[in-house]
Amino acid sequence: MTFLVEMRGIEKRFPGVHALKAVQFDLQPGEVHALMGENGAGKSTLMKIMSGIYPRDGGEMFVDGQPATPDGPRAAQDLGIGIIHQELSLMNDLTAAQNVLIGREPRRSFGRLDEPALNAKTAEIFASLNLAMDPRTQVGTQTIARQQLIEIAKALSYNPRVLIMDEPTAALNDAEINELFKVIAKLKADGVGIVYISHRMDEIKRIADRVTILRDGAYIDTVDAADTPLSKIIQLMVGREVTQNAPDIPDTTRNDVALEVQNLSHGKDVRNVSFSVRKGEILGFAGLMGAGRTEVARIIFGADPKDSGAIFVHGQQVDIRTPNAAVQAGIGYLSEDRKHFGLAVDMTVRANIAMAHLGEFTNRLGVLDEGAMNDTALAYIDQLGIRTPSDMQDVRLLSGGNQQKVVIAKWLLRDCDVLIFDEPTRGIDVGAKSEIYALLEDLAAQGCAIIVISSELPEVMRLSHRIAVMCEGRLTGILPGGAATTQEQIMELATQRDTASVGTEDVI
């Protein structure tokens, strides 16, 4: 049979990195083919070659059995290959519709735009996605999740025969993921071939037909998703067994309270939130996207103002109005949106790690001590397993997951008493995930108070000593961590709406 797309012996080198070594991949019509591998394994690179963004250094590619070498996104689109990129790439100043149909705007004569047609066409696509959004919404004002949905709508608007999804669910909540999976099922039925990249293992079982595994740029195997246990896939990915077991929850009830928040309020986003974290404790924050968890963190960190409420660090009331003040008070915050807030992507790994802490690396004249920075950077690269040819590599060139590790390194260096991790493992592979879990547990054991915001329930349950659940800006409850709490209990609190219209249909 002829494949929709077939790639053989694909080679790709970047300066200092042999990103793909004789990799093969094929795709049949109407299948979901998952592409798995650790951070930096080369998944995105392979897909960028398929979609004409990078040229390949060697190997062959066939579309419908015909040799094909798409030399740009447009050429790939003409072959019917569409891609949803891992990093959001939307035009924030434009509306949703203007983004979705960029390059194919309905036109009148003389290059005039047909704006009503543009909006109508986009509305249709949104409707097919069950996405309630005005096509005229400005993209920059939307949450990451909704921006991701706009990206998906954009990719679908090309009517692709091959659709590559590079971690499309990294920012979506469960309901949105379900919507996406419905769309995927529909596309499958229409004979579209889908390449699916994700670090969420459970999704693979749910939607993939076949799984191809890459490790360190090399092709490992292609297996049938239904017949292969996840543990086997994970083992193929990381080349060793990964233990996922959580350690016992330590008793921290007698430790000092490191951070206490009383009646924090800010508009509708945060309403009367009170909680405390003790030294050595990991407090998880669960809730649906938009429940106000990030907002709470940003207020504590001084990135957003509060309307009312009090914050105490080690029993002392503090008045934090800027992130700088927060850091002075010993509070660190790792943003969920690393591209915008967490990293200077055009600077090196070393510079980024040292960034928040340059004072440590200067001599009395204010001259930077590159040697010391180098040592520190290498230590963290080693500790976190950051995959980079050297600490002088630009962060922009690292794979998504490795960028996230750089952010973590940066904050670990600050030596904060209270660390707030907002979606710390978004886009991070299973192996690195368990490393990061171990790291957080280590930090807690050393006396750090840790807050983890995560939309992945298994993650919150795995990590937290206690679980705070938020819904619509309110803290709806705090549950014990570990086996004492079930997913259902958390979901119930996470959907405990204020109004009478509490409905189970929202839960999904």
Partner 1 sequence: MTASTPGAPTATLSRIIAAGTHQRVLAFASLIILLIGFSIASPNFMQTSNMIAILQATSVNGVLAIAVTLVIITGGIDLSVGTMMTFCAVITGVVLTYAGMPLMLGVIAAVLTGALCGALSGTFVAKMAIPPFIATLGMMLILKGLSLVISGTRPIYFNDTPGFSEISRGSIIGDIIPSVPIPNGVLILFIVAMVTAYILNRTVLGRYCFALGSNEESVRLSGVNTDRWKIAIYALAGAIVGIAGLLIASRLNSAQPALGLGYELEAIAAVVIGGTSLSGGRGSILGSLIGALIMAVLTNGLRVLSVAQEWQTVVTGAIIILAVYADMMRRKKSN
Nearest to residue 303, comparing CAs of 327, 271, 272, 285?
A: 327
Residue 283 burial (CB count, 10 A): 25
CB of 115 vs partner 1, minimal distance in Å: 8
CB of 196 vs ligand ATP, minimal distance in Å: 13
Burial call 114-138: b when 16+ CB within 10 Å, e when fewer? ebeebbebbbebbeebebebebeee
CB of 142 vs partner 1, minimal distance in Å: 14
Query: In whole angstroms, what is the distance from residue 423 CA to residue 459 CA?
Result: 10
Question: Which does residue 40 bind out of partner 1, Mg ion, ligand ATP, none, counting CB within 5 to 8 angstroms by kind?
Answer: ligand ATP
Identity at 32, one-letter amino acid code: V
463's CB contacts (< 8 A; 6+ apart) are 246, 282, 284, 437, 440, 441, 452, 454, 481
Q: With both helix axes pointing from N to C terminus, report the angle between 370-384 and 400-412 in degrees, rounded to the nearest 10.
A: 120
Tokens of 60: 């062959």
Instruction: Return the residue nearest Mg ion (CB atom).
Output: 44
Name the one residue in this structure whose structure tokens are 């999704």: 203
Contact 211, 36 (CB under 8 A): yes
Contact set for partner 1, span 211-240 (CB under 8 A)? none
| Between 136 and 205, CB nearer to partner 1 | 136
Residue 74, interface with partner 1 (CB under 8 A)?
Answer: yes
Question: Which does residue 111 bind out of ligand ATP, Mg ion, partner 1, none, counting CB within 5 to 8 angstroms by kind?
Answer: partner 1
Residue 77, interface with partner 1 (CB under 8 A)?
Answer: yes
Question: Which does residue 322 bind out of Mg ion, partner 1, ligand ATP, none, counting CB within 5 to 8 angstroms by kind?
Answer: none
Taking contact as CB under 6 A, which single stretch among the options 88-96, 286-294, 395-403, 481-489 is the one that binds ligand ATP? 395-403
By CB under 6 A, name the one of 135, 168, 280, 400 that touches ligand ATP: 400
Torsion of CA 478, 482, 487, 492, to 10 degrees: -20
Query: In whole angstroms, what is the distance from residue 12 CA to residue 314 CA?
Result: 52
CB of 178 vs partner 1, minimal distance in Å: 27
CB of 43 vs Mg ion, minimal distance in Å: 5
Residue 218 burial (CB count, 10 A): 15
Tokens of 137: 């919404």
Question: Which does residue 213 bind out of ligand ATP, partner 1, Mg ion, none, counting CB within 5 to 8 angstroms by kind?
Answer: none
Cα dihedral sign for 48, 49, 54, 57? positive
| Between 76 and 491, CB nearer to partner 1 | 76
Nearest to residue 442, comparing CAs of 387, 377, 483, 383?
A: 383
Beta strands 282-287; 66-67: pairing state: unpaired
| Between 397 and 457, CB nearer to partner 1 | 397
Question: Which does residue 39 bind out of ligand ATP, Mg ion, partner 1, none, counting CB within 5 to 8 angstroms by kind?
Answer: ligand ATP
CB of 333 vs Mg ion, minimal distance in Å: 25
Q: With both helix axes pointing from N to C terminus, report the angle between 430-445 and 230-238 in degrees, rounded to the nearest 10.
A: 80
By CB under 8 A, name the one of 71, 93, 134, 375 that touches partner 1: 93
Residue 85, interface with partner 1 (CB under 8 A)?
Answer: yes
Residue 86, interface with ligand ATP (CB under 6 A)?
Answer: yes
Contact set for partner 1, span 44-73 (CB under 8 A)? 53, 72-73
Residue 502, interface with partner 1 (CB under 8 A)?
Answer: no
What 8-state DSSP symbol labels residue 348? B
By CB under 8 A, name the one of 22, 58, 102, 134 that touches partner 1: 102
Residue 19, interface with ligand ATP (CB under 6 A)?
Answer: yes
Residues that bind partner 1 (CB under 8 A): 53, 72-74, 76-77, 85, 89-94, 98-99, 102-103, 105, 107, 110-113, 115, 154
Which residues sit at the interface with ligand ATP, rule CB under 6 A? 14, 17, 19, 37, 39-45, 86, 387, 397-402, 429
